[in-house]
Amino acid sequence: EHIRRNIEYAIAVMESRYVNRVVEIPDDEVPATLSGEGPVPPEIKRWLVQTFTSRRADVRGRKESETRRSLRSVVHAVQAGMFVERMFRKTSVGVQNLPPEVQEHFKNIDSWSYDVFELDRISDGNSLKFVFYELLNKYDLIRKFKIPLKSLFAYSARLQRGYRKYNNRYHNPIHAADVAQSLNCLLVSSGFVHWLSDLEMFSMIMAAVVHDLEHSGTTNTFHTNTRSPLAQMYNDKSVLENHHISSAFRLLNEEDCDILVNFSKDDYPSKEARTLMIDMVLATDMSQHFGQVKKLQSNLQHPESLEKSRAMCLMIHSADINHPSKQWELHCRWTERLVVEFFEQGDQERKLGLPLSPLCDRHTTMVAQSQIGFMDYVIKPTYDVLFDIFRNVNGPVVRDAILSLRRAS
Ligand SMILES: Nc1nc2c(ncn2[C@@H]2O[C@@H]3COP(=O)(O)O[C@H]3[C@H]2O)c(=O)[nH]1
Ligand SMILES: [Zn+2]
C-alpha cells in the first residue's frame, strides 16, 4: 500500500511539476538576482538580503566523510525493499490519556490543511504537548526508546513554558506544534517516513518541537545590534538557533525531564543523534536559507552526492516556513501574527534609536507586497528543491516499478 502510494505520488509530482521545469534559485549574492527591474520594492529586497543571506563562512565543520549517507543509498535501499516498516498506532502506549476531542482531531494529522489553531483551542493551549506525544506515539518511538510518559509530559510542559517566556504572537508553542505537524505531512507524503531510522525519526520530531524554544520575538539582527547577552554568548552567529537547541538539551537535566534516559548508549548521546538535532535546528536560521537551497540544488545535478542529513535539514526548514503554502485562512492567521511581532520589534528599535529593520515599521511596511516577495523568492524555490529531492528518492523506484509492470504484462 505504501509503495503504491509513493509511486502514485511520484508520478503525480513528475507529471504536474517537473516537465520542462527550470528551477531558478538566486545566487548566494541575492542582490544580483534582485537588482534587475521587477515588482519587488527596495525595502523588501533589503529584507531578503538581510534576512536570508549570510556571507559568513559556515564554521560548523561537520565531518561528512565519517557519516556520509547519500540519497542514492536510500534509493537503493528502497529498491531492495528495505523499508522501515512503520507501525501506525499498532502499539500506542497511552492514547487513553488524550482528551477524546483531541484524539478525534488527530485523525487529520497527516493533512496539509490541518488546523493547529483549532487543536490549540480544544486542548486548552496544549497543542505542542499533544502533537509531540502524538507523533512519538504514532511512530512507536515512545515504546522503542522506552521514553517514560511522566518525563515526556514534564518535558513537554517545560517546553510550552519556554515558548511562552516572551509572550510572542508568532513564535510560541502553537508555531512549534505547527512545524512538527507540517514536518509529519512532508515525511508521510514523500515516503521518507519509511526510510528514516527510528533514531532519525526521533531526532527530526524533536528538532521540530524545540526549534524555536525561548524565542525572544526579535530577530538575530536585533540581538546583534543591541549586543544582547545571547549575541555575546554566541558571538553573533545563529544567536537564536544556538539558544533554542542549547536550551532544549539543558532542559533535559531538569527534574523528571530526561526523556532520553533509557536510550541505549549507542543511540544517545551518540554523536550522530546529537549532531543531527543540532544541525537541523541551526539550519532553521534564515541566513542559511539561500546557501542551503543553492547547495542542494547543485547537489541535485549529481543525485549520488545528495546527503540524507542535508535533505532532513531542508525538510525541517521547509516545515518552518510552511504557512504560505497552506490554506488561505491559515496563512492569513500566521501572517497577522508575524506582522504583530515584526512591528513590536520595530517599536523597540524606534525607542532605542536604532535603524528600523526591514518590515518592522508599522507606518510604512507593505505587508501584501512583502508576502509576494517572500513567496516568490523564498517559498517557491525551497519547495521546488524539496520536491526535486522527493522525486530523486521516488523516481528510480517508479521507473523500476514501471519496467517490472511492463515485463510482467
Ligand atoms: N516575511 C515573512 N517572513 C516569514 C513568513 N513566515 C515565516 N517567516 C520568517 O521565516 C522564519 C523562519 O524561522 P522562524 O520561525 O524563526 O521565523 C520565521 C520568520 O522570520 C512570512 O509569511 N512572511
Ligand atoms: Zn520557527
Alpha carbon 145 to chain centroid, angstroms: 23
Give the Å distance between the CA of 216 and the centre of ligand 1.
14
Of all ligands present, the nearest one to the C-alpha of 222 is 1
Question: Whose Cα sits closest to atom 14 in ligand 1?
Answer: 320
CATH topology for 2-408? Catalytic domain of cyclic nucleotide phosphodiesterase 4b2b (1.10.1300)
CB-facing half-sphere around the CA of 257: CA atoms within 13 A: 15
How confident is the model over 89-104, as pLDDT tens digits?
Answer: 555 555 557 999 999 9
Give the Å distance between the CA of 41 and the centre of ligand 2.
25
Question: Whose Cα sits closest to atom 3 in ligand 1?
Answer: 374
The finding on whether 330 has its CB within 6 A of some atom of ligand 1 is no
Nearest to 257 by CA among 129, 358, 378: 129
Band (32; pLDDT cuts 50, 70, 90):
very low
The finding on whether 203 has its CB within 6 A of some atom of ligand 1 is no
Whether 137 has a binding-site annotation, put simply, is no
The grid coordinates listed for 144 are 522503542
The finding on whether 338 has its CB within 6 A of some atom of ligand 1 is yes
Give the Å distance between the CA of 29 and the centre of ligand 2.
24
Higher pLDDT, 35 or 148: 148
CB atoms closer than 10 angstroms to residue 275: 16
**Can you say whether the dihedral through the CA atoms of 228, 167, 210, 56 is positive or negative?**
negative
Nearest to 288 by CA among 59, 67, 40, 44: 59
- What average pLDDT does this structure show over 16-41? 45
The finding on whether 212 has its CB within 6 A of some atom of ligand 1 is yes
Band (25; pLDDT cuts 50, 70, 90):
very low
Give the Å distance between the CA of 204 and the centre of ligand 2.
14
Q: Which residues of 212-222 are buried (b: 16+ CB within 10 A; e: fewer)?
A: bbbbbbbbbbb
- What's residue 36's pLDDT? 39
- What's residue 64's pLDDT? 40
| pLDDT of residue 26 exceeding 50 | no
Q: Are 62 and 387 in contact (CB under 8 A)?
A: no
- What average pLDDT does this structure show over 248-275? 91
Q: Are 318 and 178 in contact (CB under 8 A)?
A: no
Nearest to 256 by CA among 155, 187, 117: 155
- What average pLDDT does this structure show over 357-379? 97
The finding on whether 47 has its CB within 6 A of some atom of ligand 1 is no
Band (392; pLDDT cuts 50, 70, 90):
confident
- Amino acid, single-letter form, for residue 192: F
Question: Whose Cα sits closest to atom 5 in ligand 1?
Answer: 321
Q: How far apart are CA 136 and CA 154, in angstroms?
A: 15
Whether 174 has a binding-site annotation, put simply, is yes
Map residue 384 onto helix, strand or coil.
helix
CB atoms closer than 10 angstroms to residue 361: 16
| pLDDT of residue 351 exceeding 50 | yes
How confident is the model over 276-315, as pLDDT tens digits?
Answer: 999 999 999 999 999 999 999 999 988 777 888 999 999 9
ipTM of the complex: 0.99
- What's residue 16's pLDDT? 46
Which position among 2, 76, 105, 171 bears the catalytic label?
171
Question: Whose Cα sits closest to atom 16 in ligand 1?
Answer: 212
Cis ω on the peptide bond leading into residue 324 (within 30° of 0)?
no
Whether 172 has a binding-site annotation, put simply, is yes
Q: How far apart are CA 272 and CA 74, in angstroms?
A: 17
Whether 171 has a binding-site annotation, put simply, is yes
Higher pLDDT, 273 or 43: 273
Give the Å distance between the CA of 374 and the centre of ligand 1.
9
Domain spans, the chain = 2-408
Beta bridge partners of 307: 70
The finding on whether 44 has its CB within 6 A of some atom of ligand 1 is no
Average pLDDT over the chain reads: 86
- What's residue 195's pLDDT? 80
The grid coordinates listed for 115 are 488546523
Closest ligand 1 atom to residue 331 Cα is: 22
The grid coordinates listed for 80 are 531492495
How confident is the model over 183-214, as pLDDT tens digits?
Answer: 999 999 998 998 899 999 999 999 999 999 99
Q: CB burial class (10 A; 0-12, 13-18, 19+) of residue 225? A: middle
- What average pLDDT does this structure show over 209-224? 98
- What average pLDDT does this structure show over 211-231? 98
Per this entry, what is the length of the chain? 409
Choosing from 169, 240, 374, 377 the residue with most ligand 1 atoms within 8 A of its CB, the one to mutate for a pocket test is 374
Q: Are 109 and 181 in contact (CB under 8 A)?
A: yes
- Angle at the Cα of 369 from the Cα atoms of 366 and 370, rounded to 5 degrees: 80
Percent of the chain with pLDDT over 70: 79
Is residue 171 among the annotated active site residues? yes
- What average pLDDT does this structure show over 151-161? 98
The finding on whether 220 has its CB within 6 A of some atom of ligand 1 is no
Q: How far apart are CA 313 and CA 307, in angstroms?
A: 10
- Give the list of residues 6+ apart from residue 171 with CB closer than 8 angstroms, or none: 163, 212, 215, 217, 341
